Each structure stands twice: as C-alpha cells, then as structure tokens.
Structure 1
Amino acid sequence: MIKQKPNGSGGPASRSFLDDNRDFERWLRRQCKVVEPDLDEKHKKMKDDPFVFLRATFFRWANCIEALCPDLSRAPRVLSVGDTHIENFGTWRDAEGRLVWGVNDFDEAANIAYPFDLVRLATSARLAPKAKKKKVRAMTHVGNGDAAKSILDGYRKGLEHPRPSLLDEDASWMRTYVACTDKERDEFWDDVEKYRRKGRPLPPPPPVAAALRRNLPHNASFDHFATRAAGAGSLGRPRFLAIANWSGGQVVREAKALVPSAWDWAHRQQGKPRFLTLARGPFRAPDPHLVVERQSGFVIRRIAPDSRKINLGDHANMRLELDLLNVMGFDLGAVHAATGASAKIAADLKKRDNDWLHAAAKAAAAFVEEDFKEWGRQG
C-alpha cells in the first residue's frame, strides 16, 4: 500500500522539494499580490521543525501524497479539508452566541480521496514537537499507533452521528484544552495595540476596505486599518485588519486573500475556493461573521480571544490527549458526512486492515522529514 519516495521515476514525488516550492510560489503570485516579507518569514519558519514545515507546505503534500499512498488514492473522493492538522481547529461563536469548536480553516478545500484528511491529521500528531500524547485516566504515554486508532475511532463516530461540538453542552469537557486564558486575552489585545502603534499602513485595496467596513457591527466607529502576518501555510497572502470601537470596546475584523486550493495547483486543474461549502455544512454551527466577499476575493472573519485557532504548541505543558485526537477525527467525520458519502466511506473503511492509518502516517511523516532536511540545507 505504501511506496517509498521514488528516485528519478519522473512522478510528482520524484521532484525535489525545492522545485515544487519554486513552482508553487510562482503560481501563488499569479493568484494574489504576495507580501514578500511575509513569504520570507514563512521560509524561516519552515526551518523550525518538521511539524511547522508540514503546516507550511500543503502544496507539496498535494503533489506527492497520492504517489506515496496509491491504494488510498483510489478511495471515494469527497470535498475535503485538505490541509488537515492538529492546529487547524479552533473556536468561534455561532448565531446563538454558543462557543463552538472544530475545523476553522478551509482554505485548501478540494475534492480528494477521503483517507488523506485522516492521514494528514495523524501525520501532524506524529510530528508535533511539543505535544505529549497520553490516554486520559488510563495511560501516561501512548504510541503513534494509538493516536491513529483514536483518530479513526472518532472519525467513524462522526460519520455515523455527525454534529457540531458545542462547548457549553456535549463537549464541555473540552474547555480545559481550548478555553482562552487571561494571559492569552491580554496577549491578543496587546497585539491589537501593536497594530495600532505601527502607524498608518497603506489602506487595503478599495474592494477589501469596503468589505471590512461592511462586516463591522452596525454603528461601529471605524478607527484603523492594519496589516497582519499569521499562520504558516498562508504566510505571504495579504491580510488586512479593520479595528473599530463599538458598545464600549474594540472589535476586529480580518480579511485574508482567498485563492484556489493548492490541490488544484498540484493536479494542474482550474479550481475555485470552496471555503464556505464546508464552513457552512449541514452538521456545523457556523460562524455568522465568516463570509467570502466574491468581489474582493477575500474571506472576512471576526477575530477575538474566543474566536481563534488553538495552537497546541504555544505552551510547553500542553498535552495532546487521545480524547482530543478522537474529537478531531469526529469533526472530520462530520465534515465528510455532509457530502452525502457516509455509506461509501463506511464500506471502504471495512475493507481496510486495522493498521492502515498508522502505516500511512508513518510513511508520510518520513517523507516530510526528508523534505525538511532538504530545506534545512539551504543557506
């Protein structure tokens, strides 16, 4: 099922990482006005460790994973997250003000064989440098095989009984892992103040500025535009902030350039962003502030201490519990169930042995680590 990295075979995985990186960035510059200093920062971050490298290089994954795992590439295809990893989950408030947790970035959504979302998630758990995996109330340490089994168990449950994870109801136990601390709140508003002190940058292009203003609360007093660099894989895409005052406090909206999935780049096909199709799927409690402005080509979202990605690597004592991996798998199952392919996926899963996800993640992680070493040899 798993192939080693080809050597001179002429397939996608035989190309050097440097070739793919150069070609992808050339393509990206045709999709949006790349912020070159942010792209330089991405190149530096890619040398941090294999996990950050994985996050930053979905384009490489998209170009090589099918050759690496050819058996999985023949599985049913569904509209998938694509860039699935343990830090592509976060919190937001739904239309009822409920705190919700789940996948919160669908930049790379594309029609992909369903196993690859699972493989990428398991690979990211395997490569996470600061996360210690343990089983709650039972074991102090587990291996990568247990992590893969936990993800797959959650995925099956999500396919069968899809629903959102509400942190005030059925998923209240997760608050320990994802609730915003006082320190994190202070850091968030400190960052907003830093954006303010940077001075007045060039304003966003008129359509983006109009979109940001349009998505502020009614009667908000606009204060300031700013630029922002964030993420790993999306570093280099322009991001703009609108900071305003409303009802006694500050509110912030972010606009991020939205481009076709790197999966489309890798497969030499014309694509279009599919962000909202998954973000507003039938088994989600969607963020009402998350909108795609077609005219500007930007996705607009509310950013706040309680509406953010959960970065498991921020704190040295953060533990990546099997229970948390299980609900990550569950949320993926719910995302895939929304495509109407649950029966086909379940039938395909029954044909696979118990170790397929662990084996695929092991091979994928080794491939990523080789690319990471290649990148690290650059000056």
Structure 2
Amino acid sequence: MKDRSTALPELASRSLLSWWQQHGRSDPKQKPWMFRADGRWPAAEEGLDPYPIWVAEVMLQQTQLQVVLPYWQRWMQAFPRLEVLAAASEQQVLLLWQGLGYYSRARRLHATSRLLLAELQSHQRDVNAPTKFSHWPVDLEIWLALPGIGRSTAGGILSSAFNSPLAILDGNVRRVLARLHAHPEPPMRAQHQFWAWSESFIDAVPGLSRDLNQALMDLGATVCTPRRPACEVCPWDAQCAAYASGSPQQYPVKEAPRDIPFQVIGVGVVLNDAGEVLIDQRLNEGLLGGLWEFPGGKQESDEAITHTIRRELREELAIEVSVDDKLITVDHAYSHKKLRFEVHLCRWISGDPQPLASQQVRWVKPSDLANYPFPAANVRIIAALLERTA
C-alpha cells in the first residue's frame, strides 16, 4: 500500500492528466514542435526531433506562446535543420529574430548550434550526412553545459523530445505551484522547494513526463492565469490552498516593486550628400548586442537634445553633423528601464565615421535598412525615415 505522501502527488498528477486529455492545447497548430509529422501526439515510447523543440524552448524564455509561434515558423522555414542554422551568419540569425527581444538568446542559440553539430558529427562516419535526432545527447549535464540552456529549458527539451523523466519550472508552472501551496514568498526565493514540488508530479506517474509537463504548462496558460484564474474549472480546486483562501490572484507573492529609471536618448539619423544613412553595429554584449542602430546616446542634465546628438556623434563616431528637424519621438520600455528616443535628421559635415564605441559603421541606402537587424524601437524610426524620404 502506498503511504499518503506518495499517493497525494499521484492523485494530483492523474487528475491533471485527465483534465489535460480533455481540455489541454491539443491543436498541432498551437505547438507544432510537440507533434509528429502526421499531426499525432507522440506515445510515451516515441521520440521527437529535438531541434525544433530546442528552438521553441529558447524562444519561449520570457516570451508568450502566441508571440513566439510566427517567429518559430519563419525560423524553421529559414533554418529547417541544425546544419543550416550552424552554417548561417550571425546577422542572418539576428535579422530573423528581430522584434522578439532578448537578442542574447539568438546569439547563444546560434553558438550552441555549432557546438551541437560538432558533437553529433563526431559520432557519424559521414559528416556531410544529415544528423539524426536519435544521436542527440540525452544527458542533462551535457545540455546544461551549453550556452543559454538552464535547468528548466533542458528539462523541457529532453522531456518533450525523449520523454525523459525531468521536471520543468517556467513561469506558468511557478504560478500554479505557488497557488496550489499558497506559498507565502516570491517563488524565486524558494527555487529548491518549487523544483521539489514540480519533480514530485513527474515522479508520481513514471513514463509520462512529456504529458505531465505539458499539462502543467497548459493549466497555467489557460486556467490558472495571472489575473483572472478560472478556478471553477480547475482540476485542483479541491487541493488548492490559494483557492481556499478566497484570493488566488494574490499568488504568487510578488517582489516589492522597484523604481524603474527613465532616460532620454538623443538619436541622429545622419544623411550624406548621396542620400545614404549612417548606422553602426552594437558590440556583442548586453540584450541588444550585435544589432544595428542609429547612433546617439544619453542626454545629460540641462543639455539641449540637439547638443546631445552632436556630442554623442562626435564622441562615438568622430564626425561633425548639423542637427536639423525632429524626425520622431519614440517611447520604449524594457523590464529594467524606460527610454525616450528623441530622433533628429542630421546632415553629415565632416569626419570619416569611426566605430569608437561599436563593432562597425556603414553608410547604407534607406531602402536597404530592412536587410539589417535593428532593435524594436528603431523600426519606427526606419518607418518615419522612409516616409520622409519617399
């Protein structure tokens, strides 16, 4: 006979699976990487190609499914196999990622593709032959050693592709577990406890980790939502401590809000006599590393924005410009700061542009800007420039 500590997680896991089989996200169009080529959900003993799953898992880090799906589809059209991604240039990768944010994910995904390809080809006689997913590593430690792969991402890849008995702990799962236990502090302060809870559901019903992880994510995404949880249709309403408290929306407990700094950035859209515009490529560091942008920088206190632009272009590019009409103002918020871009058209006067604070600089035709990956805020600047120069 099973003791109570073993039986409770098993009952909860089985009730979750029963709910998921009826109400889970079962449309292959929603998560195509989780289904076989014939549109069928894989049986426990069947494997899936890890490549599209890995791409999806990285894209889903800090980004919602409905946002990721069209990016994933375009990615798989451009880079349908690991070999194609590994052979691509970083600029091709960043251009396809443009607008998805957290661009370091794309750079790490690209770097990891080359590491994985070398590992897989080391086990093949013909290095030019397509890699087989049965040769992909199934050891958790190997995945954790790769760039951009944490414990939850690795668990998601291996449980999805190979049904490996590994738990996950993404935002949806954290929220579900925090409410189930009415945990009294922010989940990130109790990672060990949350991992133990997640693993207990996987361990309770051996051989179904793929299904259980998907069920936990679907429960969080469709029922146990952040603002208006649908507790009346939840399979765990009888066990949920947050529901019993009468205020499930108060969980997970949030960290105290931090003051978000606000900065004004002066941006110069510099045109030369040939009608070309000057852009520079950011250093490969930070969230936007490797992307192209229009040059500029932070406005100092009591400084006119036109002076900011002239000063920044002199310091970063060693050029002199005439700052002319305002082109556009763009407000953009990141998780850690809010920015206002004050953008002016500028006329290049003198100086050979030098990449003093960037990787490289380039004069390009405005019509060719679509060939370069830019941060999201710059897309509106490009649109305003094209409208002005049309």
TM-score where L is the length of structure 1 = 0.25
TM-score where L is the length of structure 2 = 0.24
Structure with higher Rg: it is 2
